[in-house]
Amino acid sequence: MSGQVPGPAERAAKAFGDLHGQEPAGVWFAPGRVNLIGEHTDYNDGFVLPLALPQGVAAAGRRRDDAILRVRSGQVDEPVEVALADLAPGALDGWGAYPAAAAWALRSAGLGIGGADLVLDSDVPSGAGLSSSHALQCAVALALLGLADLELDRTQIAKLVRTAENDFVGAPTGIMDQMASLHGRAGHLTFLDTRTLVVEHVLFDLDAAGLALLVIDSRAPHALVDGEYAERRASCEAAAAELGVPALRDVSLDELPEALARLEDPVAARRARHVVTENDRVLTVVATLRAGRDPREIGPLLTASHTSLRDDFEVTVPQVDTAVEAALSSGAWGSRMTGGGFGGCVLALVDTDRVGQVVVAVEEAYRRAGFTPPAAFVARASEGARRVR
């Protein structure tokens, strides 16, 4: 469209043509995600409620006959080239580990993935906790499957991408991000039971309510491949084992006081309290939205989630807490960190006519604190991963 800034799919296709002198055989796109509520519940067999973003990663590609995977990115100067037969955990590091991991997981599952030339492009802010790495892997997986003329159930693709992330990249993440990217639906939240992997779509029509979901990039460094995330996961697993349940999802809110009394480690008790109360908050938000009630009613639940993540799970940082406090003090109905924590983004449920006011308040709070200025955008629930040409 004339005057429209090219998106990642258009940029990837053009870059492919410039590099290879021909059009790509296809272009695939996978969105990033923002999680409305349900943080650190996915690896505890719990409930999550993300939405797919308009922003995402595109992969333009064609087949190769020599079993070589060659990947370039519009965001990284250094290309990646690796023989498929040489793919194994630890074979690559840096950004190239992510597309290589997707190829490795597909081939390890016995799928006939061949060599490929891929050109990637993204408009997901990297390091913001919006699942840019999972979007990349989902886009690459769809491209490799498409180029091999293979079809696979979306949930199965999500499982394979999780395997890629866990076993090849070395990040012990759950399955929420992949499922949100692959199962997203415009105008809806993706309600996922991470134990059964049953997906239900929940209408999320903020426009009709005069509301907006504001996402604020805290600009604090965000990294999950470190000991902090792994420690939280191990602590949750240890708490579940001590309580004699398969996962913390199996502890109800009514059972929580007794469960906490049984946990000897106060840190494990705080981690467990977050997971159990967060699962309950997700279910309450879903029930509220399904009943067609005013979405403003979920605001206090979003804020309670942040308080729990700050005090019990201890995954917030000063920039994130400052953004939440400023958003709430300037009129947001609710606000919380979103993503794995230790940086990343904050979301705020805001009346549409107060979006600018909230953004200015957060910027001013950052200025007073001496933080790097934040960035903000309004999120809209969008379609999931797909072939776009």
Catalytically active residues are 177
- The CA dihedral of 294, 249, 251, 272, to the nearest 10 degrees, is -90
DSSP 371: P
Quote the CA–CA distance of 112 and 314 in Å, as a whole number: 43
Three-class SS of residue 33? strand
Q: Give backbone dihedrals phi and psi of 378, rounded to 5 degrees, phi first.
A: -90, 125
Beta carbons of 175 and 30 less than 8 angstroms apart: no
- Angle ∠(59,136,90) on CA atoms, nearest 5: 115
- Cα dihedral sign, 178-269-283-206: negative
Three-class SS of residue 204? coil
Q: Is residue 352 exposed (0-12), middle (13-18) or buried (19+ Cβ within 10 Å)? A: middle
Quote the CA–CA distance of 12 and 312 in Å, as a whole number: 42
